[in-house]
Amino acid sequence: VVDGGDPMMLGERPPDGDPNVPAFKIAMLGASGVGKTTLTYQFTTSDYICAYDLSLDDDYGQKKVSVLLDNIETDLEIIDHPASEMSTEAFCATYNIDLFVVVYSVVDRKTFKEAERVLQYLKENEMLLSRGAILVGNKTDLERHRVVNQYMGRYVATQIACKFIETSSGLHHNVDELLVGIVAQVKLNPQRLRR
């Protein structure tokens, strides 16, 4: 194969990171348009905890970042769920995920309902027994148009027993804190290291 996908090139890719560095798969779930791609992109530009982008190819909505937090390196493979192309159920069955980040927009009630549905699905299918989840209310910069208040988000997170944070990728508010929270959550599961 010469043109197009060129699968022969795959053999020339460098080894998949350092086998001594723990690696985790993070799923970005939630309705279309809530800011999953924007948040994922911003993780790679975080200067607060020294994250850098290891991705060779992010065409498929996957980004690899290496995060140095408290002098400990962790690789994260962040997989953006293409909500319009694949159901949450099919997505979760396809990838062996370590942590679910479920995002909604605080200015769109439908996306909040969808986030609630996704979390319920994960809980009912026992996918949260050995994995964590973080509920994220994004777009807090659009305060004047807010329809989902912080208490509603916190209430749902409490019901599911997951973490909760509000962010604005527009203003880069709490994005680093979310990344720190992701690393902290996956480290609660240290047995699931690089496969």
Interface with ligand GDP (CB under 6 A): 32-38, 138-139, 141-142, 168-170
Q: Which DSSP state fits 16? A: S
Judged by DSSP in three states, 135 sits in strand
The distance of closest approach from Cβ of residue 65 to ligand GDP in the complex, given in angstroms and rounded to an integer, is 16
Shortest approach of ligand GDP to residue 36 CB, angstroms? 4
Q: Which is nearer to ligand GDP, 146 or 192 (CB)?
A: 146
By C-beta, is 74 or 79 nearer to ligand GDP?
A: 79
What are the φ/ψ torsions at residue 165 (nearest 5 degrees)?
-150, 150
C-alpha R_g of the chain: 17
Minimum Å gap between C-beta 32 and ligand GDP is 4
Residues 98/189, Cβ–Cβ less than 8 Å: yes
Indicate the residue among 22 and 137 with the shorter CB distance to ligand GDP: 137
Q: Between 25 and 81, whose beta carbon lies closer to ligand GDP?
A: 81
Angle of helix 150-160 versus helix 109-124 axis, rounded to 10: 10
Give CA–CA dist 77/62, Å, rounded.
7
To ligand GDP, the closest distance from the beta carbon of 5 in angstroms equals 24
Please report where in the chains the tokens 């973490």 appear, as a residue: 163
